[in-house]
A and B are shown apart, each in its own frame.
Chain A
Amino acid sequence: NAGVTQTPKFQVLKTGQSMTLQCAQDMNHNSMYWYRQDPGMGLRLIYYSASEGTTDKGEVPNGYNVSRLNKREFSLRLESAAPSQTSVYFCASSHGTSGNNEQFFGPGTRLTVL
């Protein structure tokens, strides 16, 4: 039982390049989330998916797109990376049901945009 996994662990991009961050969970969770964490700060929600087939914007969605590929996988895409997107990106998942919404986090992806 791996929990929440993310790839890659590290990535360096040049301004304008694109990339996709991958996330998968094996806990049969309904809800999945993408957060970013900037130095010295807490996490901020980028996008989330309450269930397979649905996605919604979080607090800081600009510059990102997401795909809920199936129940297990939720990807985050940067179409044209900018230095302001240098951050650590975390994926999380939860059952998503009222009364049982504990979130579990992956190990993170450290992204640097030059």
Chain B
Amino acid sequence: GIQVEQSPPDLILQEGANSTLRCNFSDSVNNLQWFHQNPWGQLINLFYIPSGTKQNGRLSATTVATERYSLLYISSSQTTDSGVYFCAVPDNTDKLIFGTGTRLQVFP
């Protein structure tokens, strides 16, 4: 089945810093989702991005489907950005396969 790998596994930043999170997947996909799981456990949809680039405030994402990776950019990080970031892609029956996540801690 399709494999999803995320890097780095952990990231520690000071408030105001920028970061890039990476998601690699082993097979071609027709969509990709990025989620933020906040410290209370809630899963928040960030991007639904099969290809190209999307931006939402301080966050943006780029998926290069032909090269099987996606990047999530966080600019001017804030303490509220802390949590775990997951990417997920559908398998050949449209069920989501999740990566193991990047744990981000932002300190003031």
Contacts and interface: CB of A to CB of B under 8 A. Distances in A.
Interface in B32-59: 33, 35, 41-43, 45, 48
B98 A42 contact: yes
Contact of A108 (B31, B42, B86): B42
Interface stretch (B12-20, B61-69, B72-80, B88-96): B88-96
Interface size bucket, A side? Answer: 20 to 34
A107 B43 CA distance: 7
Interface string A80-114: 00000000101010001011011111011010000
A108 B41 contact: yes
B83 interface: no
Contacts of B43: 90, 105, 108
Nearest to B6: A42
A42 B41 contact: no
B45 A45 contact: no
Contacts of A48: 95
A58 B90 CA distance: 13
Contact of A99 (B30, B95, B98): B30
A103 B42 CA distance: 14
A52 to B, nearest CB: 17
Given A42-B99, A42-B100, A42-B101, A101 B94 contact: yes
Given A42-B101, A102-B33, A102-B48, A88 B95 contact: no
Given A98-B30, A101-B90, A108-B41, A45 B100 contact: no
B96 A107 contact: no
Contact of A107 (B42, B88, B90): B42
- Of all A-B residue pairs in the complex, the 3 with the closest CB atoms, nearest first, are A42-B98, A105-B43, A102-B48
